[in-house]
A and B are shown apart, each in its own frame.
Chain A
Amino acid sequence: MAGDGLWYKDAVIYELHVRGFYDSDGNGAGEFRGLTLKLDYLSDLGVNALWLLPFYPSPLRDDGYDISDYTNIHPAYGTLDDFRMFLDESHRRGIRVITELVLNHTSDQHPWFQQARSSRENPRRDWYVWSDSVERYKQARIIFTDTELSNWAWDPVSKSYYWHRFFSHQPDLNFDNPAVREAAWEVMKFWFEMGVDGLRLDAVPYLVEREGTSCENLPETHDVLKYLRRRADETFSEKMFLAEANQWPRDVRQYFGDGDECHMAFHFPLMPRMFMAIRLEDRKPIVDIFQQTPEIPATCQWGIFLRNHDELTLEMVTDEERDYMYDEFARDTRAKLNLGIRRRLAPLMEGDRRRVELMNGLLMSMPGTPILYYGDEIGMGDNIYLGDRNGVRTPMQWNGGWNAGFSNADPEQLYSPIISNPVYGYQAVNVESQRRYDHSLLSWTKRLIRLRKSSRVFSRGTMEILKPQNHRVLAYIREFGNERVLVVSNLSSQAQAAELDLKRWKGSIPIEMFGGNLFPPIGDLPYLLTLGPYQFYWFRLRRL
Chain B
Amino acid sequence: MAETSAISEDFLRQLTAVGEVDILVGVPTFNNRDTIERVLSAVQVGLTKYFHRERCVLINPDGGSTDGTPDIFKNASVEDFGMLLTSNPLRTFHRVSAPYHGIPGKETALRTLFTAADLLRAKACAIFSPDSLSITPEWVDSLIRPVYREEYDFVAPVYQRQKFDGLLARGLISPVVASLYGRRVHEPVGSELGLSGRLACHFLESNVWEEDLTTFGLEIWMTTTAIVNQFRLGESFLGPKIHAAKQFGQDVAGTVRQVVGALFRCLDLHQDFWKRREGASEALPLFGFEYKVALEPLRIGKKGVLDTFRSQVEQLVPILESILTPQTLLHLRNVAQLADRDFHYPDELWVKTIYEFAAAHHRSVINRDHLLQALPPLYRGWVGSFILENQKTDAARMDQRIEALGQEFDRWKSYLTDRWEAGTGGER
Contact = CB atoms under 8 A, between A and B. Distances in A.
A318 B14 contact: no
A288 B87 CA distance: 13
Contacts of B14: 469
Nearest to B92: A471
Interface in A272-314: 276, 280, 282-285, 288
A285 B94 CA distance: 15
B19 interface: yes
A64 B86 CA distance: 39
A318 B19 contact: no
B87 A496 contact: no
Given A470-B16, A471-B92, A497-B16, A324 B87 contact: no
**B interface secondary structure, majority:** loop
Nearest to B48: A320
Residue of A288, A324, A472, A496 contacting most chain B CB atoms (<10 Å): A472
B52 interface: yes
B87 A276 contact: no
A135 interface: no
A475 B55 CA distance: 20
Contact of A318 (B18, B20, B88): B88
A469 B92 contact: no
A469 B10 CA distance: 12
Contacts of A283: 92
Contact of B87 (A280, A319, A470, A472): A319
Contact of A471 (B17, B52, B53, B87): B17
Given A470-B16, A496-B19, A282 B91 contact: yes
A282 B87 contact: no
Contacts of B13: 469
Residue of B14, B88, B90 contacting most chain A CB atoms (<10 Å): B90
Interface in A434-475: 468-472
A315 to B, nearest CB: 15
Interface in B71-112: 86-92, 94
Nearest to A321: B90
Contacts of A468: 17
Interface string A252-288: 0000000000000000000000001000101111001
A190 B399 CA distance: 87
B324 to A, nearest CB: 59
Given A324-B53, A469-B13, A285 B90 contact: yes
B23 to A, nearest CB: 14
A288 B88 contact: yes
Contacts of B89: 284
Contacts of A318: 86-88
Contacts of B92: 282-284, 471
A288 B19 CA distance: 21
B47 to A, nearest CB: 13
Interface string A331-351: 000000000000000000000
B141 to A, nearest CB: 15
Contacts of B16: 469-470, 497
Interface residues of B, number: 18
Contacts of A319: 86-87
A321 B91 contact: no
A8 B27 CA distance: 53
Nearest to B15: A469
Contacts of B91: 280, 282, 284, 471
Interface string A88-107: 00000000000000000000
Contacts of A284: 89-92
A245 to B, nearest CB: 23
Contacts of A324: 53, 90
A282 B53 CA distance: 11
Contact of B52 (A285, A320, A469, A470): A320
A396 to B, nearest CB: 36
B224 to A, nearest CB: 37
Given A324-B53, A469-B13, A469-B14, A276 B90 contact: yes
Contacts of B20: 494
A321 B88 CA distance: 9
A378 B86 CA distance: 40
Interface string B194-230: 0000000000000000000000000000000000000
Nearest to B87: A318
A468 B55 CA distance: 17
A284 B86 CA distance: 17
Given A282-B92, A283-B92, A284-B92, A320 B19 contact: no
A291 to B, nearest CB: 11
Nearest to B20: A494
Interface string B378-392: 000000000000000
Contacts of A280: 53, 90-91
A491 B131 CA distance: 38
Interface string B337-362: 00000000000000000000000000
Contact of B19 (A276, A285, A321, A472): A472
A474 B94 CA distance: 16
A288 B92 CA distance: 10
Interface in B258-308: none
A285 B52 CA distance: 13
Contacts of A497: 16
B90 A320 contact: yes
Contacts of A494: 20
A492 B53 CA distance: 15
Nearest to A327: B53
Contacts of A471: 17-19, 91-92, 94
A124 to B, nearest CB: 47
Given A282-B92, A471-B92, A321 B17 contact: no
Nearest to B17: A469
Contacts of A282: 55, 90-92
A410 to B, nearest CB: 48
A497 B19 CA distance: 10
A345 to B, nearest CB: 21
Interface in A316-330: 318-321, 324
B122 to A, nearest CB: 16
A81 to B, nearest CB: 53
A282 B55 CA distance: 9
B124 to A, nearest CB: 18
B118 to A, nearest CB: 18
B44 to A, nearest CB: 15
Contacts of A496: 19
A496 B91 CA distance: 17
A297 to B, nearest CB: 29
16 contacts: A282-B55, A283-B92, A284-B92, A320-B53, A320-B90, A321-B87, A321-B90, A324-B90, A468-B17, A469-B17, A470-B16, A472-B19, A492-B19, A494-B20, A496-B19, A497-B16
Interface of B: 13-14, 16-20, 52-53, 55, 86-92, 94
Given A282-B91, A285-B90, A470-B19, 15 more contacts: A276-B90, A284-B90, A284-B92, A288-B88, A318-B86, A318-B88, A319-B86, A320-B52, A320-B90, A321-B87, A324-B90, A469-B14, A470-B16, A494-B20, A497-B16
- Counting from the closest, the 8 A-B pairs by CB-CB distance are A469-B17, A471-B92, A318-B87, A282-B91, A284-B92, A470-B17, A320-B87, A282-B92
